[in-house]
């Protein structure tokens, strides 16, 4: 059995009676979680293995080794809890992971990864820095999401997520790249699987959502409230075992199209899969790949599949049994979860194969039973029918606004219950983790029999109702007001009238917000990168690009709203999908692949940057000779965004007025010549009778 400290595997309570004790508890949790992560990576026995693409849809493991450390620095810097970065290059390269949009989506051509030794040295610097922060930060109890301690907890829980995802990738490395360890021992028990059976469960009305005063850290998607009405249903007593799933495989389940969704068929056509990812066939025998070993297929362990495979099995089972078999919904799983009264971190011992409390692998599906059901929690994650969305009252944390919102697209399904390596927040009842349906995790499933349509349990709001996002969607794509042309369309039109392009291969729309200017630029350029710091804004642009439609509401008066819908067809952008790539990024710390642009369009951005001069100095090298930089801004300098000593203009210098145009000229003239200056008006609608009327100055610069 494995034996790791519970400080590494259980969440820290936000409450307590002693701030000194809580500080020591936080520090212990940070260091033990850090050590657990290092322990996992110590299984890799050569540096070359860190750079192998073991999982084609993920970065190599070197990224995840650096990523969890970079996360601490980026969040502490964003929250202004530290003044200086440790390594800006690392903190850009390792900042953003992969939420693959499709199974053939990851382009790794632009990554020049550092050595393992360099990342190890960086990690040590981060560890020392975070320990200093914990020692010196203000701390009051209970800890709230406005406290620096919350960011420490965020980093701890973030590393726990990647402990699990990294272990999945390691299961796909060649065995020769890993050295087994007694710290990571698999379960030794295996045998025939018990026959599954359906257990009746009483339906009920249930409300999901974590209360604001909960005693443990939570991710943003856990909070709020969402009522459901669940009918009576039956659930499988056990998770689907390898043996039960083998019947589906032997019956030609992977070859019978009628059991697969359209998405599942496309995945099958691409992967040519004939069995679960971690099964192997050798010399006529079936094996299973675990973390550091291959073993004969353990028939009584849970099968590990993606959601598409789980759903196909349920369709097959329904056909064979003539019952309404499907995956459970999130609400139905919570009814099962109520059969367990205990919850981490308060339980004395884990009531299932979770928190690394027993094994570094799955175990038999009948090993842990409670109130007639087995593996309510642990062993493997349990796929559901439910696509993740925010509960009513959802709001993002300002220092991590892209944890959940990119997954609110109907294409990420929830997994519940945790696995053998799930720790901390992953093991609490309220946790909500979702992945794309073709994604592999230590995940399996159980099934339910129910006549209830999952969609009837809840009423999801398919309209974007966040006031700021809806306001910008209307600003970019909505009506024109007071005869003022659309700012994004007119801005691109005005700049293109003034320039003489030698090439139209690449353009960058930096600070693209919800994306309208990117679409306009794509009408002229072969490739357009749209980048914005806000994940919420980028998600709107990406959703429109992928789905072809975006719906939102805008306020008219009081609580009254108007429902709006925009489509790519109506806008004339239906043929531009292959020309645009939207991504989140920091204008002052862009990744190296964002370069060689014929035009960089920076609209209403410059006066919202912490260091505008750094942006201007760095952007020049990303533009080809003879290319153009276009800047529009109303120059509304505010110390909320930019410290006054960083303002480009709007100040007195030596007693004389110094405008932003003066500052732009002073900064850009070594590399650019000024081609034109224009005024571009715009109107932002707040309500039916309240508008903002503003004028931006457009300056157009040609690189020498």
Q: For residue range 66-109, list pLDDT tens digits in order.
A: 999 999 999 999 999 999 999 999 999 999 876 544 444 455 55
Mean pLDDT for the stretch of residues 496-525: 97
DSSP for residue 94: T
Assigned token pair, 257: 């199209």
7 CB-near residues (< 8 Å, 6+ apart): 25, 28, 29, 32, 33
Q: Which residue has the higher pLDDT, 533 or 465?
A: 533
Beta bridge partners of 423: none
pLDDT of residue 396: 80
Return the bridge partners of 447, or none: none
Own/partner pairs, 439-442, CB within 8 angstroms, 24+ separation: 439/57, 439/100, 439/306, 439/307, 440/55, 440/168, 440/277, 440/304, 440/305, 440/306, 441/164, 441/165, 441/168, 441/381, 441/415, 442/164, 442/167, 442/168, 442/304, 442/362, 442/380, 442/381
What's the Cα-to-Cα distance from 659 to each of 387, 666, 677, 679, rounded to whole Å?
Answer: 50, 11, 14, 15
pLDDT digits (tens, 9 = 90+) for 298-309: 999 999 999 999
pLDDT at 110: 61
Average pLDDT on 522-534 reads 96
Chain segment 654-691, per-residue pLDDT in tens: 999 999 999 999 999 999 999 999 999 999 999 999 99
This prediction has a pTM of: 0.78
Rounded to an integer, what distance in angstroms lies between the CA atom of residue 218 and that of residue 212?
9
H or E segment and range at residue 67: helix 61-78
Residue 460 has pLDDT above 60, yes or no: no
> What mean pLDDT is reported for the chain?
94
- The CA-based angle 618-123-20, given to 5 degrees, is 115
**Of residues 102 and 468, which shows the higher confidence score?**
468
Q: What is the mean pLDDT of residues 543-561?
A: 88
Query: What's the average model confidence in pLDDT over 146-158?
Result: 98
pLDDT digits (tens, 9 = 90+) for 184-215: 999 999 999 999 999 999 999 999 999 999 99
Contact 376, 370 (CB under 8 A): yes
Q: Is the dihedral of CA 539, 542, 548, 554 positive or negative?
A: positive
Contact 14, 217 (CB under 8 A): yes
Q: What is the pLDDT of residues 1-58, one digit of tens each?
A: 788 999 999 999 999 999 999 999 999 999 999 999 999 999 999 999 999 999 888 8
What is the tens place of the pLDDT at every residue in 406-445? 788 889 999 999 999 999 999 999 999 999 999 999 999 9
The Cα 120–Cα 477 span in angstroms is 47
Residue 410 has a pLDDT of: 87
Residues 382, 384: Cα–Cα separation, whole Å: 6
Q: What is the mean pLDDT of residues 132-147?
A: 97
Given a cut of 60, is residue 632 above it in pLDDT?
A: yes
pLDDT number for residue 458: 67
SS3 32: helix
Question: What pLDDT does residue 103 have?
Answer: 45
Q: What is the spatial distance between Cα 406 and Cα 394, in angstroms, rounded to a whole number?
A: 14
Instruction: Output helix, strand, coil percentages for the chain, rounded to the nearest 5.
Output: 35, 20, 45
For residue 395, the model assigns a pLDDT of 81
- For residue range 162-174, what is the model confidence (pLDDT) as tens digits? 999 999 999 999 9
H or E element, residue 38: helix 19-41
Nearest to residue 434, comparing CAs of 466, 390, 375, 401? 390
Give 230-254 pLDDT, tens digit per residue. Answer: 999 999 999 999 999 999 999 999 9
Confidence check: pLDDT of 596 > 60: yes
Contacts of 187 (CB under 8 A, 6+ apart): 301, 353, 358, 359, 361, 362, 363, 364
Is 646's pLDDT higher than 80?
yes
Contact call for residues 585 and 533 (beta carbons, < 8 A): yes
- The arithmetic mean of pLDDT across residues 553-560, rounded, is 88
Q: Could you tell me the pLDDT band of residue 648, with boundaries at 50, 70 and 90?
A: very high
Put residue 204 in one of left, alpha, beta given phi > 0 → left and psi -120 to 50 → alpha.
Answer: beta
pLDDT at residue 403 tops 60 = yes
Q: What is the pLDDT of residue 462?
A: 47
- Confidence (pLDDT) at 563: 78
Task: Write down the pLDDT at residue 111.
Answer: 76
Predicted pLDDT at 108: 56
| Cα 170 to Cα 43: distance, rounded to the nearest angstrom | 9
């Amino acid at each position: 059995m494995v034996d790791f400290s519970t400080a590494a595997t259980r969440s820290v309570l936000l409450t307590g009676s002693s701030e000194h004790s809580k500080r020591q508890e936080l520090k212990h949790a940070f260091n033990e979680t850090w050590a657990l992560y290092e322990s996992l990576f110590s299984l890799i026995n050569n540096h070359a293995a860190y750079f192998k693409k073991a999982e084609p849809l993920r970065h190599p493991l070197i990224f995840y080794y650096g990523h969890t450390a970079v996360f601490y620095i980026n969040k502490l810097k964003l929250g202004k809890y530290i003044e200086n970065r440790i390594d800006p290059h690392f903190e850009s390269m390792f900042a953003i992971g992969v939420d693959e949009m499709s199974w053939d989506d990851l382009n790794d051509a632009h990554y020049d990864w550092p050595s393992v030794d360099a990342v190890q040295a960086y990690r040590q610097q981060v560890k020392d820095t975070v320990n200093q922060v914990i020692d010196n930060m203000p701390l009051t109890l209970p800890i709230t999401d406005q406290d620096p301690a919350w960011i420490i907890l965020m980093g701890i829980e973030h590393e726990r997520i990647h402990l699990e995802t990294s272990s999945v990738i390691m299961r796909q490395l060649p065995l020769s790249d890993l050295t087994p360890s007694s710290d990571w021992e698999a379960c030794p028990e295996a045998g025939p699987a018990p026959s599954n059976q359906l257990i009746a469960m009483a339906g009920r009305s249930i409300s999901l959502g974590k209360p604001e005063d909960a005693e443990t850290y939570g991710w943003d998607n856990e909070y709020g409230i969402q009522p459901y009405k669940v009918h009576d249903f039956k659930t499988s007593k056990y998770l689907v075992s390898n043996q039960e799933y083998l019947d589906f495989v032997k019956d030609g389940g992977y070859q019978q199209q009628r059991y697969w969704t359209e998405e599942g068929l496309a995945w099958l056509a691409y992967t040519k899969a004939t069995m679960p990812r971690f099964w192997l066939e050798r010399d006529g025998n079936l094996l299973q790949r675990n973390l550091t070993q291959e073993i004969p297929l353990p028939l009584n362990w849970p099968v590990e599949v993606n959601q598409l495979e789980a759903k196909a099995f349920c369709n097959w089972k329904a056909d064979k049994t003539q019952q309404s078999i499907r995956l459970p919904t999130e609400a139905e799983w919570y009814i099962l979860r109520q059969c367990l009264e205990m919850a981490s971190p308060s339980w004395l011992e884990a009531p299932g194969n979770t928190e690394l409390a027993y094994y570094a692998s799955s175990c038999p599906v009948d090993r842990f039973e409670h109130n007639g059901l087995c593996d309510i929690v642990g062993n493997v994650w349990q796929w559901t029918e439910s696509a993740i969305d925010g509960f009513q009252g959802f709001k993002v944390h300002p220092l991590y606004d892209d944890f959940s919102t990119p997954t609110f697209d109907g294409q990420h399904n929830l997994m519940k219950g945790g696995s053998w390596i799930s720790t901390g927040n992953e093991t609490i009842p309220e946790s909500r983790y979702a992945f794309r349906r073709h994604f592999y995790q230590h995940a399996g499933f159980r099934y339910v029999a129910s006549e209830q349509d999952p969609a009837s349990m809840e009423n999801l709001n398919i309209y974007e109702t966040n006031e700021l996002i809806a306001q910008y969607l209307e600003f970019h794509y909505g009506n024109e007001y007071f005869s003022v042309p659309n700012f994004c369309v007119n801005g691109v039109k005005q700049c293109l009238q003034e320039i003489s392009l030698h090439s139209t291969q690449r353009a960058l729309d930096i600070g693209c917000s919800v994306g309208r200017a990117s679409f306009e630029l794509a009408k002229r350029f072969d490739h357009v990168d749209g980048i914005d710091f806000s994940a919420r804004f980028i998600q709107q642009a990406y959703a429109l690009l992928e789905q072809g439609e975006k719906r939102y509401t805008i306020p008219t008066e009081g609580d009254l709203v108007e429902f709006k819908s925009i489509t790519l067809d109506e806008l004339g952008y239906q043929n531009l999908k292959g020309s645009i790539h939207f991504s989140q990024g920091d204008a002052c710390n862009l990744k190296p692949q964002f370069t060689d642009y014929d035009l960089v369009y920076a609209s209403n951005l410059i006066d919202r940057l912490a260091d505008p001069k750094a942006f201007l100095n760095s952007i020049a090298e990303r533009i080809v000779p003879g290319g153009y930089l276009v800047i529009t801004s109303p120059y509304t300098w505010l110390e909320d965004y930019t410290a006054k000593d960083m303002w480009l203009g709007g100040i007195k210098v030596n007693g004389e007025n110094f405008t932003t145009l003066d500052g732009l000229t002073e900064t850009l003239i070594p590399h650019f010549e000024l081609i034109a200056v224009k005024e571009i008006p715009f109107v932002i609608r707040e309500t039916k009778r309240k508008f903002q009327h503003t004028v931006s100055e457009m300056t157009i610069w040609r690189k020498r």
